[in-house]
Amino acid sequence: MSDFPPGAIVSVLGGTGPQGRGLARRFAAAGIPVVIGSRSADRASDVATALAEEVGGTVSGADNATAAGQGDVVVVAVPWDGHADLLRDLNGQLAGKVVVDCVNPLGFDKQGAYALPVEEGSAAMQARAILSESTVVGAFHHVSAVLLEDPTVVEIDTDVLVLGDDREATDLVQALASSIPGVRGVYGGRLRNCHQVEALTANLISVNRRYRAHAGIRVTDL
Amino acid sequence: MSDFPPGAIVSVLGGTGPQGRGLARRFAAAGIPVVIGSRSADRASDVATALAEEVGGTVSGADNATAAGQGDVVVVAVPWDGHADLLRDLNGQLAGKVVVDCVNPLGFDKQGAYALPVEEGSAAMQARAILSESTVVGAFHHVSAVLLEDPTVVEIDTDVLVLGDDREATDLVQALASSIPGVRGVYGGRLRNCHQVEALTANLISVNRRYRAHAGIRVTDL
């Protein structure tokens, strides 16, 4: 059950990567019209066609700029490298929209993952600094791409922390998160507190290694 | 059920504050000998006497330096202000011990809580920088003092993320956490990734306000 508005289109930039493709799959399965964006329109179309065949629903593919223009809500699931450049290029297309940043700025060395320093404080705060006319929300940082993409996983046992300063936008993205079976969208604070949510992904990677798991997070007492 | 070694003494520095007092209560109730440390030995003794009467077990009070010397495991639950000074003063007493830092460097303004910048990266990393001969572990950042101190709360519905670079020490502190009914100690990564765990407390404060809750965190798929 989700209150996400019927017919509202969700575009997923970086929708051909594991995280973006996994989210697109789950949104499409929930009956949400999805546009997959990618640097290559052809590749986006291929992924969209495959997804539509597998899970049904309305899925199309386009280059990132076209996808950004078509979405009512636009999910940014691109690698941290290139995050700023992409958003600068799409500032116009993203004006007036709710932009959902789920990018985790992480580095990796022989000791595992760690949080990269970000001048603006976090990927989400960087997005807000660049996208002067969009409403930026942070969400979907911890959802395992492996689980999202696994057709045998019916429900995903995790909450999605949703961060932002606009109540209407965070409510909308909580509803979007809750459209995925098993998932509950939970308000997680203001956007200035998004850094630690992004960075916590490094800890979950450590958890996954130690316990051979695909760990998620549940908030208790709600 | 917990594997915490029988008879091992846990000292809680700042044990007269809500978080320290709450942890001391739960450890004592689990049969662990507890020493409450405070700047004032008298105040520590008063709290210890009251706790022993209420929950039973072996609880004593002392000034922080004495308590640090008596503990096999020493929990640091002091306010962020004065964290560095206290640890510098107790470097000798804490040599060779497992020191559990549960301090959250947070600021508060009219928009709520936010993470303070820490030169060393986090309270736990600051502790490690100061305590050259101790084994520093981060844990207990998110456990609600209100729930810990509420005698009507029998089980606390949360995991405790335990961070550190020494497997023996993190195993020990996971066992300590699991001595609290309802709580599960979960390995949460290396100490360098403690910042985001400390800072996430700001998000949980936002969650508590929005949902009128005492939120905790569970890690799923373990």
Distance from CA of B186 to the nearest CA of A (A): 8
Per-residue confidence (pLDDT) for residue B2, from 0 to 100: 73
What structural domains does chain A harbor?
10-211 (3.40.50.720)
Nearest to A206 among B113, B190, B214 (CB): B190
CA–CA gap between residue B6 and residue B32 (Å, rounded): 7
Nearest to B135 by CA among B96, B171, B83: B96
> Can you tell me the mean pLDDT for B109-113?
97
Distance from CA of B141 to the nearest CA of A (A): 13
**Chain A contact present for B161, CB below 8 A:** yes
Residue pair A156/A185 in contact (Cβ under 8 Å)? The answer is no
pLDDT tens profile B199-220: 999 999 999 999 999 999 999 9
Q: List the structure tokens of A187.
A: 């308000």
Per-residue confidence (pLDDT) for residue A2, from 0 to 100: 73
Greatest alpha-carbon pair distance for chain B in Å reads 46
pLDDT tens profile B70-93: 999 999 999 999 999 999 999 999
Nearest to A116 by CA among A102, A103, A134: A103
- Asked if the model's pLDDT at residue B17 lies above 70, the reply is yes
Residue with tokens 């046992």: A157
Nearest to A62 by CA among A95, A81, A90: A90
DSSP annotation string for A94-137:
TTTSEEEE----EEEETTEEEEPP-TTSSHHHHHHHH-TTSEEE
Per-residue confidence (pLDDT) for residue B58, from 0 to 100: 96
Per-residue confidence (pLDDT) for residue B185, from 0 to 100: 98
CA–CA gap between residue B217 and residue B200 (Å, rounded): 10
Tell me what ipTM this predicted complex has: 0.96
**Chain A contact present for B111, CB below 8 A:** yes
CA–CA gap between residue B83 and residue A64 (Å, rounded): 48
- Asked if the model's pLDDT at residue B8 lies above 90, the reply is yes
Residues of chain A contacting B114 with CB distance shorter than 8 Å: 192-193
Contact B200 A197 (CB under 8 A): yes
Burial of B194 (0-12, 13-18, 19+ CB in 10 A): buried
Residues of chain B contacting A138 with CB distance shorter than 8 Å: none
Instruction: Give first-to-last CA distance, chain A, whole Å.
Output: 17
Contact A197 B190 (CB under 8 A): no
CB atoms within 10 A of CB B43: 15
- Asked if the model's pLDDT at residue B1 lies above 70, the reply is no
Per-residue confidence (pLDDT) for residue A207, from 0 to 100: 98
Q: List the structure tokens of B38.
A: 């405070």
**Chain A contact present for B163, CB below 8 A:** yes
Nearest to A187 by CA among A163, A165, A166, A156: A163
Non-local (6+) Cβ contacts of B59 within 8 A are B24, B28, B33, B34, B35, B36, B48, B49, B51, B52
**Chain B contact present for A199, CB below 8 A:** yes
Q: What string of pLDDT tens digits covers the 222 residues of chain A?
A: 578 999 999 999 999 999 999 999 999 999 999 999 999 999 999 999 999 999 999 999 999 999 999 999 999 999 999 999 999 999 999 999 999 999 999 999 999 999 999 999 999 999 999 999 999 999 999 999 999 999 999 999 999 999 999 999 999 999 999 999 999 999 999 999 999 999 999 999 999 999 999 999 999 999
Q: Which of A187, A207, A217 would best serve as a mutation to test chain B binding (most B beta carbons within 10 A)?
A: A207
Contact B215 A199 (CB under 8 A): no
CA–CA gap between residue B152 and residue B143 (Å, rounded): 16
CB atoms within 10 A of CB B65: 18
pTM of the model: 0.97
In the 8-state DSSP scheme, what is residue A162?
Answer: E
In angstroms, what CA-CA distances link A10 with A66, A68, A152, B52?
A: 13, 9, 24, 58
CA–CA gap between residue A167 and residue B91 (Å, rounded): 47
Measured torsion, CA atoms of residues B51, B53, B58, B59, in degrees rounded to the nearest 10? 30
Non-local (6+) Cβ contacts of B104 within 8 A are B80, B123, B141, B198, B199, B201, B202
Residue with tokens 């965190």: B217
Based on C-alpha coordinates, what's the Rg of chain A? 16
Q: List the structure tokens of A59.
A: 């899925």
